[in-house]
Amino acid sequence: MKRTPGAETSALLPEVLGAVCRRIAFAKSMRWADGDVAFGRPIQWIVALLGDAVVPFSFAGIAAGRNTRGHRFLSPDRFDLARAEGYVEALASAHAMVDTAARRSGMMAALNAAAKEAGGTLREDAFLEREVTGLVEEAFVVAGRFDENFLKLPDALIESVMRDHQRYFAVQRTDAAKAEGNGRLLPVFLTVVNTALDEATIRRGNERVMRARLSDAAFFVEQDRKHPLANRVADLDGVVFHAKLGSYGDKARRLASLAPSLAKAFGVDGAQSARAASLAKADLVTLTVGEFPELQGEMGAYHARLDGEPGAVADAIGEHYQPKGAADDVAPSPMGAVVAITDRIDTLVGCLAVGLKPTGSEDPFGLRRLAGGVVRTLLQHRVRLSLAELAGAAWDVYAAENGKMLAAAAGAKTTREALVATVVDFCADRLRVLLEARFGRDLVSACMAAGKDDPVDVAERVEALATFWKTPAAADLGVAFKRVFNISREAPAGELTMEDLGRLTQPAETALVEAFAHARAELEPLWAGRKYGEALELIARSLRAPVDRLFTEVFVMDKDEVMRASRLRLLGRIADSVAGFARFDALEG
């Protein structure tokens, strides 16, 4: 064992701070002058204080000191920091808000005030809020306007021009909640700048840029409107989805074939679902989406509405990419959910069939995210659906299309059965992650061990078990049934017979046989009706005591093989009666 004696902080910090500086990583670094240090920007000075003393170290040829500066234009003079504790306040007085929370708070207050002055409310945008907070030292807001004629464009397109291209904030009407789909914005945008010494010049420049950007967007939309969305589906044959899985035209035809069967589970029109699925990718070949790829789906919905497609179809086209990430909402409408799941399961089945399963942290096709989207959408809409049947149906559509995937899958020795099992396991892994974030791992494991094909049913079983587990009877029941499951593994093949029951004559045995007979008659309709909480209460009330009594008074593993077999078959039958709900032997402890 090596012992390292303590040392003064001031003596340790020079080496530590030098190492910290060298390890700071940037997405893009640069070198300057004749040095070999790579950093985000050329280093001009370093401040390093411990209390009122300078920590002596150098990095990139710059020696640390106490001299610093604030905002280059609003407070250009250099000054010394007396103590480390005064750093934040000193920089704030020099118009450099180093406290990120304070800088963000000040920025949002200024934005909200500017939006109110413009006659509207700020359009909330978490991405812009985070992004722009890091672009300024002290936030100043400059409001600009654009021609109201541009409001004929989709709100999403206008916001994309502001947000993704210029980092401007949008302002919506105060009655925006009453508007549906479009027309929620005011012809106003808000710019956050690091200094507003010449506000008029900044405004004119930003308005000129905004006008040019919106003019380009209007041109793209005008050109795209020359052809109905349905006429663009044929063009998808020229866009590759994946080399082994065909074009987006192939995918559109597969989605249209698969959607009607899924629509039944969601209670929506099958023909309209097929229509939405066939048009879902059509906007990929529009000029607007070519320039603004973040609007795929939304532009499809816009054109579908103008083309006279049913509202549910247009909504589904716009929603089917949801959720794009773990923090996003799922498709809100039932038909949107149908197309969203259809799209994802088609990609999952195809990619997994041709051997594109993620490995470790590598997931180039985002299959984990797609599987999570399937599971989350089912859970949100509370639609019971067999993952195995869904994956099998997707495989069958590929087979009907006679596409490249089947040849590749056959070459990899993949069968329909194996592929379906792979998809179920893949989606179940995402389901497990979602449920374990809310419930105990052992509760989730116990329920998933009993069946994982129907995500909604799994979630309901976990919720019921978690609720029951908080009751006083839970612990004792868990121990008793865990023992039942464990010992019943030794049960010989065959059903529990009348001969078996005739041998079980001890008081503890007959008590359990009678209790189980009564409980089983009541349990079956409860399981069938998914009244899981009531079923658990019945088991605790009717079977816990007789099971405990059996293990106390009877030696189950009797030397007599016939007697042992009869007792084990009884316990096996009891275990089977709850095995479809949860495997109690999977519980920890």
pLDDT in tens, 7-33: 888 889 999 999 999 999 888 999 988
Residue 90, amino acid: A
CATH topology of domain 229-437: Hypothetical protein af1432 (1.10.3210)
Across the range 154-183, mean pLDDT stands at: 82
| pTM (whole model) above 0.75 | yes
pLDDT of residue 204: 95
pLDDT of residue 49: 94
Across the range 444-464, mean pLDDT stands at: 93
- For 256-302, write each residue's pLDDT tens digit: 999 999 999 999 999 999 999 999 999 999 999 999 999 999 999 99
Cα distances (angstroms) measured from residue 151 to each of 12, 172, 281, 293, 575: 61, 11, 25, 20, 65
Classify domain 469-586 by CATH number.
1.10.730.10
DSSP letters for 11-52: HHHHHHHHHHHHH---SS-B--TT----BSS----EE-EETT
pLDDT of residue 176: 59
- 501 pLDDT tier (thresholds 50, 70, 90): confident
pLDDT of residue 412: 60
pLDDT of residue 403: 54
How far is it, in rounded angstroms, from Cα 69 to Cα 473? 67
Question: Edge-to-edge strands of the sheet including 140-145?
Answer: 120-122, 169-173, 185-193, 140-145
- For 308-325, write each residue's pLDDT tens digit: 999 999 999 999 999 998
pLDDT of residue 408: 57
- 407 pLDDT tier (thresholds 50, 70, 90): low
Lowest mean pLDDT among 224-228, 400-404, 471-475: 400-404
Residue 115, amino acid: A
How far is it, in rounded angstroms, from Cα 417 to Cα 102? 57
Across the range 89-96, mean pLDDT stands at: 92
Start-end of CATH 1.10.3210 domains in the chain: 229-437
Residue 507, amino acid: P
Burial (CB count within 10 angstroms: exposed 0-12, middle 13-18, buried 19+), residue 243: exposed
- Is the per-residue pLDDT at 178 higher than 70? no
- Is the per-residue pLDDT at 395 higher than 60? yes
| Contact between 277 and 339 (Cβ < 8 Å) | yes
Q: What is the mean pLDDT of the chain?
A: 90
Burial (CB count within 10 angstroms: exposed 0-12, middle 13-18, buried 19+), residue 492: exposed
- Is the per-residue pLDDT at 580 higher than 60? yes
| Contact between 390 and 348 (Cβ < 8 Å) | no
Lowest mean pLDDT among 113-122, 157-166, 183-192, 490-499: 490-499
The structure tokens 């998809």 sit at: 423
- 413 pLDDT tier (thresholds 50, 70, 90): low
Helix runs in 141-247, H state only: 155-160, 199-224
pLDDT of residue 109: 95
pLDDT of residue 569: 87
pLDDT of residue 401: 63
Query: What angle (nearest 5°) sits at the alpha carbon of residue 185, between those of residues 182 and 191?
Result: 140
Own/partner long-range contacts of 204-213 (Cβ < 8 Å, ≥24 apart): 206/142, 206/144, 206/166, 206/168, 207/144, 207/145, 207/146, 209/166, 210/144, 210/146, 210/161, 210/162, 210/166, 210/168, 211/146, 211/147, 213/161, 213/165, 213/166
Burial (CB count within 10 angstroms: exposed 0-12, middle 13-18, buried 19+), residue 146: buried
Start-end of CATH 1.10.730.10 domains in the chain: 469-586
| Contact between 281 and 248 (Cβ < 8 Å) | yes
Closest C-alpha among 187, 139, 129 to residue 163: 129
Residue 81, amino acid: L
| Contact between 384 and 454 (Cβ < 8 Å) | yes
- Is the per-residue pLDDT at 179 higher than 60? no
The percent of residues above 70 in pLDDT, for the chain, comes to 96
pLDDT of residue 402: 58
- 361 pLDDT tier (thresholds 50, 70, 90): confident
Closest C-alpha among 346, 324, 179 to residue 258: 346
